Amino acid sequence: MPSKEKNIKVNAIENIRVDDESYNALLSLLRSKTGLNFEYYNKGFIEKRIKARMIRVYCKTLDEYFRFVSSNSAEIKSFIDGFTVNYTFFFRDYDVFETIQDLFIHGLKVSRKDIRSDIRPDPSKLAKFRTKKNAAKNLAKIGSYSDRPARNYIDIFIFLNQLSYYQKMKKPRSEKNCINIWSCPCATGEEPYSLAMILDNLQSQVPRFPKYRIVASDIAHEAIAKAKIGVYTNDSMKEISDYFERRYFIKQKTHFGHTNLIDEKIKKKIEFVEEDVTQGHKLYHKYDIIFCRYLLIYFNRINRHKFLKIIEDRLVENGILILGKTETLFDSWGNLQLIDSRHRIYIKSHSKLY
């Protein structure tokens, strides 16, 4: 590691210069060592990451950091690990999951009153994990959602008909007559597992529930490995309702504190894939539902378009795309058309909806 700099100001973020030549040389080096194309990402995001690492390993210039990376494979790993921001938790944006559950309930033509399910986290849980101000905001939000009528469903009647079509299928095993869902990126698995819990819970109560398959992918090797193990700390459980926590987790006391082990039945519902999605998707499926939450924010404009094309191609006609709450394609992108702005839900349709 380069010698520690006594004067911390030398290494303050605002003092680090990133010139194009050294920046491009570093990206090429990282690409040759890892196979990952960092040019797909937002430049500001990568720069921040580089500067943070430089400060961490006491490099004063980008060239010095270049030399450090060239001869230090542990540094490459640290760069990638921090870069792929695996932050996630169960039922992140729980109102989005409520909406997806509502879609299934409507599509399968069952009455909400006949379904036992509760996705909303206990308000005291929110208060514990969020700042007081946010907790208060969220409590108000929970109140306003109560018995919220189905919105925009008129726009997605074709998608809903698709669900009941699958329900009537006699040979549900093949890819064509089963609901295919893709969670991309899935990070450490909390998102696809949340979905699997909702569907399993519905399946146990709705007659002739259609077959479904959930594929979950991420670029980060360690995140996928963790997802496959399915053991979570309380941080991941911060917004899960008591209903789902009790139903699908076994609490374990270990040397490292309390952990939560996900039900084996839920684990089996998901096929995890490690891949760089900017290079395409390894599996051949088309999907009825794609969760692509909190990934687009990291991509630059050109590659966001390239990636959206992959997503659009992989959706069936009338399939739906769910983005993260801070992400938007505005009213439409290609054949992806906004149907629910609050929950960032788009439908793929060749005909104009509006």
Ligand X SMILES: C[S@@+](CC[C@H](N)C(=O)[O-])C[C@H]1O[C@@H](n2cnc3c(N)ncnc32)[C@H](O)[C@@H]1O
Give the contacts of 233 (CB within 8 A, at least 6 positions apart). Answer: 257, 258, 259, 260
Looking at beta carbons only, is 219 or 321 nearer to ligand X?
219
Cβ neighbours, 10 Å, residue 19: 11
Q: Sign of the C-alpha dihedral, residues 80, 85, 91, 95?
A: negative
Radius of gyration, CA atoms only, the chain: 22
Looking at beta carbons only, is 84 or 349 nearer to ligand X?
84
Min dist. Cβ of residue 22 to ligand X (A): 23
Min dist. Cβ of residue 275 to ligand X (A): 6
Min dist. Cβ of residue 49 to ligand X (A): 12
CA distance 50 to 42: 13
CA distance 54 to 34: 19
**Tokens 């088309």 found at:** 286
Structure tokens belonging to residue 174? 């093949």
Looking at beta carbons only, is 167 or 260 nearer to ligand X?
260
User: What is each CA distance from 165 to 115, 160, 171, 179, 286, in whole angstroms?
Assistant: 21, 9, 12, 10, 17
Min dist. Cβ of residue 87 to ligand X (A): 5
Looking at beta carbons only, is 163 or 220 nearer to ligand X?
220
User: Which of the 8 DSSP states describes residue 105?
Assistant: H
Min dist. Cβ of residue 41 to ligand X (A): 7
Looking at beta carbons only, is 50 or 219 nearer to ligand X?
219
Residues that bind ligand X (CB under 6 A): 84-88, 92, 185, 187, 191, 218-220, 223, 276-278, 293-295, 298, 324
Min dist. Cβ of residue 185 to ligand X (A): 3
Looking at beta carbons only, is 49 or 125 nearer to ligand X?
49
CA distance 248 to 194: 10
Cβ neighbours, 10 Å, residue 350: 9
